[in-house]
Amino acid sequence: MATYDFLFSSLGLEDWCAEGQSDGPMSMADLLKKTQGTSSEPESLWDTPFPSMDALNESCAAFPKSRELTKGLEEGFLSIKDSLSVVLDPLTQPLSWALDGTLYGMLNTPWWIVIPLLLAVVFFVTKSWKLVGFVAGSLFLLAFIDYYRYAMETLSIIFVCAFICVLFGVPIGIAMSRSDVMQRLTIPVLDMLQTLPPFVYLIPLIFLFSVTESKLYGIAIILYAIVPVIRLTNLGIRLVDKDVIEAADAFGMTSRQKLFKVQIPLALPNIMAGVNQTIMMSLAMVVIASLVSAPGLGVLVLQGIRNLELGVGLVAGLGIVILAVILDRVTKASLARINASQKQ
């Protein structure tokens, strides 16, 4: 006898419940309960369980347990998985190529080409010799302690993922800024992407793609990191001075002219702030993504945890911090340059 028997008997559902009785194998929980000899009947009102799925199942075997709900979700996902893969696989294949290609390129070009090239890029976007010196020092340090290869792997993944985030995020942000309906529809999705624990992204992706494919971690990183660039593009364009927009209208600009000659240039500081955030978030995710075979410094961190190699884990962690500081300073410096050229 269980607490909610009266509910089913009063509704006349006993027959339906009886049908659910099965002689199948017992679950671990049932087995434990039996051996401990505890009855499910509560002693007093104080112990009355909430009428949850499991509590109702005790009174009526035909009522589904909560595990059956999650199992149903699993089965549902597995049943659409194949058809989903047919669509998603070719669509995401270019991501795999981009990641593999960049990794191959970065790792097979000799260090004495890659490092000067990176420094040249740093100088081009920041025009600051101080920063170039800092980046050079950091890279030489990482290379000296033989972490060069891992650092370059991490950097390549971030470059590809951040580039794709910008490629898709900016247009989505622009679309959001132009239509309130679009904004209302997109914001809950962005909120969800931002609050979902990073590990949760990995679960459905593992089912959909094979763990050996690089697009698996690529997608996880992009989903996690694309949010800030979308949000800040939308915000930046919405914050463009209404007077300037009115002037653009009054002089007969088409909406395309307005977008490219007024709105995007004036929103650029905000968009760049979003790009900075996106890069930082992809760095955070690339470590977690090493759980699903993303190469780079994250692998070393994982190795440190798994094999209790304290030193490896700590130094790899430090390497990630160095990369984060480099990426942050470089993007911030270029952002400052944009800001300086258009303060009002």
User: Which residue ranges make up the site for another protein (CB under 8 A)?
Assistant: 241, 243-244, 246-247, 249-254, 257, 261-262, 265-266, 341-344
In terms of DSSP H, where are the helices of the chain? Answer: 5-10, 14-20, 28-36, 53-59, 66-108, 111-126, 129-144, 148-178, 180-195, 198-208, 214-238, 242-250, 255-257, 264-288, 297-306, 310-341
For 258, what's the count of Cα atoms within 13 Å in the CB-facing half-sphere? 20
**Rg of the chain, C-alpha, whole Å:** 28
21 or 254: whose CB is closer to another protein? Answer: 254
144 or 251: whose CB is closer to another protein? Answer: 251
Helix 111-126 and helix 310-341: axis angle, to 10°?
40
184 or 261: whose CB is closer to another protein? Answer: 261
Look-up of token digits 């009002």: 344
CB of 121 to another protein, least distance (A): 24
Q: How far apart are CA 327 and CA 336, in angstroms?
A: 14
204 or 265: whose CB is closer to another protein? Answer: 265
CB of 208 to another protein, least distance (A): 44
CB of 235 to another protein, least distance (A): 18
62 or 244: whose CB is closer to another protein? Answer: 244
Pick from 268, 273, 278, 325: which is nearest to 158 by CA?
A: 278
Q: How far apart are CA 101 and CA 119, in angstroms?
A: 21
What sign does the CA torsion over 87, 168, 106, 139 have?
negative
CB of 337 to another protein, least distance (A): 13
Q: How far apart are CA 321 and CA 110, in angstroms?
A: 24
**Cβ pair 223, 164 in contact under 8 A:** no
CB of 329 to another protein, least distance (A): 24
CB of 137 to another protein, least distance (A): 34
What sign does the CA torsion over 149, 155, 158, 162 have?
negative
37 or 252: whose CB is closer to another protein? Answer: 252
CB of 343 to another protein, least distance (A): 6
179 or 342: whose CB is closer to another protein? Answer: 342
109 or 257: whose CB is closer to another protein? Answer: 257
CB of 174 to another protein, least distance (A): 18
